Amino acid sequence: MLTPLFVALLWLFDTLVGLYIIVIIAAVVVSWLVAFGVLNTYNQFARSLIRALDALTEPVFRRVRRIIPPLGGLDLSPMIVLIFLYFVRMLVDSYATMAIYSMHS
């Protein structure tokens, strides 16, 4: 049986994973903007944004890069982390859905 606390924890987990997915996508887009010279890294706000995104994503990306290094300058770590996060999110959501339906049966 799912208690209200457990449902709230599942919601919190799902929300945090969703937010981290957004952070990863933002980090990838910002890195492209920097690489193509669209984003001025001398701008204080842009530099702060880049540092914040790096601080949030780089520890996770570094672990993936230890296993799968960049291939010819193409860093696959954001894509691998995103696939893993979507997998875990789907696994937890399906578990919660099955628990809810079994509760009503």
DSSP 8-state code for residue 11: H
Tokens of 105: 């049966």
46-67 confidence digits (pLDDT tens): 999 999 999 999 999 999 999 9
71-91 confidence digits (pLDDT tens): 988 999 999 999 999 999 999
Using CA atoms, how far apart are residues 53 and 8, in angstroms rounded to an integer? Answer: 27
Dihedral angle sign, alpha carbons of residues 79, 85, 88, 94: negative
> Could you tell me the residue ranges of all domains in the chain?
4-104
Residue 30's CB is within 10 A of a number of other CB atoms, namely 18
Q: Are 20 and 81 in contact (CB under 8 A)?
A: no
pTM of the model: 0.89
Mean pLDDT over 96-100 rounds to 78
Q: Are 27 and 54 in contact (CB under 8 A)?
A: yes
Using CA atoms, how far apart are residues 13 and 19, in angstroms rounded to an integer? Answer: 10
